[in-house]
Amino acid sequence: MSRIIIVANQKGGVGKTTTSINLAASLAVMEKNVLVVDCDPQANASSGVGIYQDDVQASTYSVLLDPSSARDAIQKTSIPYLSIIPAHQDLVAAELELVSKPAREYFLREALLPLKDEYDFIIIDCPPSLGLLTLNAMCVGEEVLIPLQCEYFALEGIAKLLQTYGLVRRRLNPGIRLLGVVLTMYDARNRLSRQVRNEIRNTLPEHLLETIVPRNIRLSEAPSFGKPVVGYDIKSKGAEAYLQLAKEVVLRRPQA
């Protein structure tokens, strides 16, 4: 059964891209056929798997303008079982170009649904905003995974995201569900990290994933080599955490 997971949080720098590529690569290590869709003009997910701006012809941008071209935009990565529809910085323009079109939230859906059965997982990396790109992702997504950094105001940030999710579910994509919240960049020695973890455990008990991703330098180094962490240092704590997350995601079913 194939699953479409979107990785979203409008707050910047909370670990969306790190989670997208490393969850995807860990699922690929489990021999799941995985497609990453880079939906962020920063194109960090693309460079993070070794696809750089100069190599990008067809991209999420061209796919949004012509959904029937999605298959041509897929590129293989150095990790077996892992492919990507890369982003190019021109994706910023898509947001403006889509605004005036009818059913502007559904272009990515039109592009990806025909590919769905060819993959076990499609993982969409969203930009740090709740604009049209994230809405397009939410309209094709079946499950939302929310990376959360343990810091002050973390919960206030996801309140707005959950509100948007609720709206999308009522109006645009009734099939969408919450896969859960994954804590990222966790530092067990830091009292604030522990406090925020406990607060989230109390507020969203059914939504907090068991796997907690620690702060790990290997995770931040790997992208500069164009590799997910499993291709860079598979023995690191970071790789261990994302392999664990992949196992949890395979077993977990999303909640309402």
Residue ranges that bind ligand ATP, judged by CB under 6 A? 12-18, 40, 42, 44, 128, 184-185, 213, 215-216, 219-220, 238
Q: For the CB of residue 68, give the shortest distance to ligand ATP in the complex, in Å.
A: 28
Max CA pair span of the chain: 51
Sheet hosting strand 3-7, strand order edge to edge: 75-76, 82-85, 34-38, 121-125, 3-7, 143-149, 177-186, 208-214
Of ligand ATP, Mg ion, none, which one sits near residue 185, judging by CB under 5 to 8 A according to partner kind? ligand ATP
Least separation in angstroms between CB 15 and ligand ATP: 4
233's contact among ligand ATP, Mg ion, none, with CB below 5 to 8 A by partner kind, is none
Interacting residue ranges for Mg ion, rule: CB under 5 A: 16-17, 44
Contact call for residues 230 and 244 (beta carbons, < 8 A): no
Nearer to ligand ATP, 12 or 175 (CB): 12
In terms of CB distance, is 19 or 110 closer to ligand ATP? 19
| CB closer to ligand ATP out of 62 and 184 | 184
Angle at 58 between CA 52 and CA 64, to 5 degrees: 115
CB of 213 to ligand ATP, least distance (A): 5
Q: How far is the CB of 12 from Mg ion (least distance, A)?
A: 8
* Residue placing its CB nearer to Mg ion in the complex, 17 or 184: 17
Please state the closest distance from residue 193 (CB atom) to ligand ATP, in A: 12
**Buried residues in 155-191 as b, exposed as e (16+ CB within 10 A):** eebbeebbebbeebbeeebeebebbbbbbbbbeeeee
Pick from Mg ion, ligand ATP, none: which does 22 bind, CB < 5 to 8 A by kind? none
Cβ-contact 158, 130 below 8 angstroms: no
